[in-house]
Structures are given as C-alpha cells and as structure tokens.
C-alpha cells in the first residue's frame, strides 16, 4: 500500500471503530414504497419522495419529452449557452408557486445554499444559524468567511442574545460597507421533522435589522394553502429576504432554487459561483420539476398531500402508543432517536431483517450520540405498509433522547 492509501486506510479504520462507517447500497428499482435494495425487496421508509412523484408518469412523461426536444445534456453553464427554455419555464413556475417576484434554479439544493450565502455575505458580515441546520448551510456559512454564530435549536432567547452580540460587533466596525447580519434556518428540520419558529424569527430579525434566509427543502409542495411552504402557512413569506427550496424531495425531480426579489435573482446570476461555474441542470430534470410544481397545485396534488398526512397520522399514532415522544407538528419526517451509533446500526439491521428499509442516521449528519432512525413517509405508502412498519418497530425501545424541545 502506498503512503497515500495507508493514511486513508488508517482514517477509515478510525471511522469504523466509531460506528460511523458508511457504504453505498445498490437500489435496483425506481423510488417505490417497495424498493429493491441489493437483491431484496424492502419496504422503504427512507426516501424524501414524500408525494410519490419520482417515479410517477406525471413527471416521467414531461421528462422524456424534455429529452426528446432539448437533449440529454445542457451543453454548458447557464451564462454561456446552456440557459435552455425548460430552465426558464421552471423558474417561472417556481416564482408563480411561491408568489415571489423571481426565482433561480440551481443544479442542487446544496449548490443553492452555498452559492447564495457566499454571494451575499463578506468577511466582515455575520451569519447566524440554528444549531441543527443542514450541512450545506453550515458549509456556506464557513466558506463565506463571515463571522459564524450558532444558536441553540429553536431557542429564541439564545438567538436574541446572539443578535445583540452581533449588533454590538457590527456597530464597532468601521469601513465603507456596513456589516450585515443574515440569519439562516430550515423551515422543517431535515433530521428532526420539527418546525422553525418562523413568526418569532421574523419579528427578531426585523427588530435587529438583520436578514432572514429560510430553506424550505422539506416543506415546498407540502404546506400552505398554495403549497408554497411553511412560510406561507405561517403568513410570513413576504418578510423573508431569501427563500430556498429543493426540487428533489416532495417535487420528485432534482435541483434547488432560490426565490425572492428580481434584484436578488439578478445579483445571484452575477455573483453566485455555484450557479455561474456549473453546467446547467439537464432538461429532463427541469421539465420534471416544472410538471411537479403544476401537479402539487392541482386538485390531484391536494389529494396526494391528504394521503401523505393520513399515513403520517397513522404511523405517529402507532408510535406514540408504543411510547415514543414525537414533535407535536405534522411532518413527513419522524425521528426515532436511539443515541449510540452502534445501537442505531443494530436497529436498522434488525428492521432490514423484518423487511423494512430505514438506514441509521449518524454523525456528522446529526450530533454524536444522537444517532437515530429517520422514518419518512410517502403518499405512495399504503395503510398496510404503515402497519407493517409499526409492527416491525414495536420490539425496539424508544431511546432516551426526546428529539426536540419545542415545535
Ligand atoms: C436535501 C437538503 C438540501 C440539499 O438539497 P439537494 O438538492 O439534495 O442538494 C438542502 N437543505 C436541506 C434542509 C435538505 O434537506
């Protein structure tokens, strides 16, 4: 073994020792309630395909048409010659869905967060994030070079304290450009399924003259009268400077988006490096996402959403009866916190033996000692699927940690 590999092998051994080793599993079917993993068919409760759209003809047919008309690849970045009609149609559809002035599609949600945060903030600014935000927000916060401050999950008193500190710090700085503070949170937290306190966050950011960016990755298409997301449900969408979402979860396709004012979007086209220096999303993905946005706004989309919530209620009732403490809010993400990494792996293996596929989520996706089974529900599940899940889970004992203090 070369020294290059020797060192990597040592690091891998350390990862294994901590119960944190990860490996890929080959899935031999589309995203379905019953998914073929390696050579077995397992009941899948780990997908983010909440509305069962990823393999639906409602998306597949427009994707195929998109390929036939515009090709398999986009050929270049958007600013060179890859800004194809399906991208423009998609951005119009996103803006119409969210009610924002304008929208910009990125190749992934990860790229949306990193590119936008880095475009907006400089080294003398402050970025304030909830302790439990997703990795792409943390990476954007680190990469942008601004002063990074973290507040305890959904803890408004702590946030107020952090903002007072930021105000003092900012007013003590002199220079041509006034230092700014950006608060970034998810609306529905990806690993806990609880909600950000968006109304209070808006109130606080206005009091402090800060800005707010909200990642609706697990809420777009699912919440609000017009399926715009949790900000719509809480009536605060108009007061959020930067709204972000993904196209690969409830919307069943792939990609990410930012929406907001026309000025924000024009600025990102000029300054978001993950947008500028990346090949445009493939036409099939853009066409599928546009179809998904139209679908979630339709009556059929509403029926699909009702079906999802019926399954969520069914599984939550079953788990609460088994003694699990769950956030009181309704989301398609249900955390079963186990704690120790090795125990979570054992639980996941035991579930696989019972025909249920729920991978263990471990550090660094969640904090050390907070390993969990992250159950996700889909409108594609039947009532019988959920009953099978609940009985497969019942021999497990709920972990010591309560997933979230507040909702
Ligand atoms: C999945 C996810 C993303 C990343 O989106 P991709 O399109 O998968 O890159 C961003 N934010 C949150 C909260 C997510 O859960």
Could you read off the pLDDT tens digit of each residue along the chain, which spans 407 residues? 899 999 999 999 999 999 899 999 999 999 999 999 988 999 999 999 999 999 999 999 999 999 999 999 999 999 999 999 999 999 999 999 999 999 999 999 999 999 999 999 999 999 999 999 999 999 999 999 999 999 999 999 999 999 999 999 999 887 778 899 999 999 999 999 999 999 999 999 999 999 999 999 999 999 999 999 999 999 999 999 999 999 999 999 999 999 999 999 999 999 999 999 999 999 999 999 999 999 999 999 999 999 999 999 999 999 888 888 887 889 999 999 999 999 999 999 999 999 999 989 999 999 999 999 999 999 999 999 999 999 999 888 665 544 444 43
Residue 239 token pair: 């007061």
| Structure-token match 């939550």, residue found | 316
Contact 207, 177 (CB under 8 A): no
Which ligand 1 atom sits closest to the C-alpha of 186? 13
By alpha-carbon position, which residue is closest to atom 14 of ligand 1? 217
By alpha-carbon position, which residue is closest to atom 12 of ligand 1? 217
What is the distance between the alpha carbons of residues 5 and 359, in angstroms, rounded to a whole number?
28
Spatial CA neighbour of 396 closest among 373, 379, 376? 373
By alpha-carbon position, which residue is closest to atom 7 of ligand 1? 109
What is the distance between the alpha carbons of residues 52 and 47, in angstroms, rounded to a whole number?
9
Q: How many whole angstroms from 323 Cα to the centroid of ligand 1?
A: 30
By alpha-carbon position, which residue is closest to atom 15 of ligand 1? 190
Count of other CB atoms within 10 angstroms of residue 24: 5
Task: For Cα atoms 137, 96, 50, give the angle at the middle one, nearest 5 degrees.
Answer: 55
pTM: predicted TM-score of the whole model, two decimal places: 0.95
Side-by-side strand order, sheet with 356-357: 34-37, 40-44, 356-357
What is the distance between the alpha carbons of residues 284 and 195, in angstroms, rounded to a whole number?
32
Ligand 1 site, CB within 6 A:
108-110, 113, 134, 136, 186, 190, 215, 217-218, 246, 248, 256
Give the active site residues. Answer: 190, 218, 249
Which ligand 1 atom sits closest to the C-alpha of 248? 7
Which ligand 1 atom sits closest to the C-alpha of 249? 1
Spatial CA neighbour of 406 closest among 72, 116, 132? 132
What is the distance between the alpha carbons of residues 33 and 379, in angstroms, rounded to a whole number?
9
Task: For Cα atoms 72, 256, 204, give the angle at the middle one, nearest 5 degrees.
Answer: 170
What is the distance between the alpha carbons of residues 52 and 55, in angstroms, rounded to a whole number?
7
């Amino acid at each position: 073994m070369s020294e290059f590999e020797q060192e990597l092998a040592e690091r891998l051994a350390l990862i294994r020792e901590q119960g944190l080793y990860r490996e890929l599993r080959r899935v031999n079917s589309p995203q379905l309630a019953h998914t073929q993993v390696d050579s077995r068919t397992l009941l899948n409760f780990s997908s983010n395909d909440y509305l069962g759209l990823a393999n639906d003809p409602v998306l597949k047919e427009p994707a195929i048409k998109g390929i036939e008309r515009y090709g398999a690849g986009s050929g270049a970045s958007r600013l060179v010659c890859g800004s194809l009609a399906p991208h423009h149609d998609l951005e119009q559809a996103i803006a119409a869905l969210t009610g924002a002035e304008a929208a910009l599609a990125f190749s992934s949600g990860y790229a949306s967060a990193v590119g936008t945060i880095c475009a907006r903030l400089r080294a003398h600014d402050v970025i304030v994030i909830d302790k439990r935000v997703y990795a792409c927000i943390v990476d954007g916060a680190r990469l942008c070079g601004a002063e990074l401050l973290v507040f305890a999950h959904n803890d408004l008193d702590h946030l107020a304290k952090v903002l007072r500190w930021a105000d003092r710090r900012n007013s003590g700085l002199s220079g041509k450009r006034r230092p700014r503070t950006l608060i970034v949170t998810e609306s529905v937290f990806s690993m806990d399924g609880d909600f950000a306190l968006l109304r209070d966050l808006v109130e606080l950011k206005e009091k402090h003259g800060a800005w707010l960016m909200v990642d609706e990755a697990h809420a777009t298409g699912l919440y609000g009268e017009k399926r715009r997301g949790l900000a719509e449900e809480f009536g605060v969408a108009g007061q959020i400077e930067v709204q972000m979402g993904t196209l690969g979860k409830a919307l069943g396709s792939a990609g990410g988006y930012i929406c907001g004012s026309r000025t924000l979007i024009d600025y990102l086209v000029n300054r978001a490096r993950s947008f500028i220096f990346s090949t445009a999303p493939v036409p099939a993905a853009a066409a599928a996402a546009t179809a998904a946005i139209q679908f979630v706004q339709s009556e059929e989309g509403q029926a699909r959403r009702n079906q999802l919530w019926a399954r969520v209620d069914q599984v939550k009732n079953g788990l609460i009866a088994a003694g699990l403490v769950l956030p009181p809010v309704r989301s398609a993400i249900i955390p079963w916190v186990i704690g120790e990494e090795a125990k979570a792996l054992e639980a996941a293996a035991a579930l696989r033996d019972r025909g249920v596929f729920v991978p263990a989520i471990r550090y660094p996706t969640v904090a050390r000692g907070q390993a969990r089974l992250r159950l996700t529900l889909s409108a594609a599940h039947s009532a019988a699927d959920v009953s099978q899940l609940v009985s497969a889970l019942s021999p497990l004992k709920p972990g010591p940690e309560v997933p979230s203090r507040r909702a």
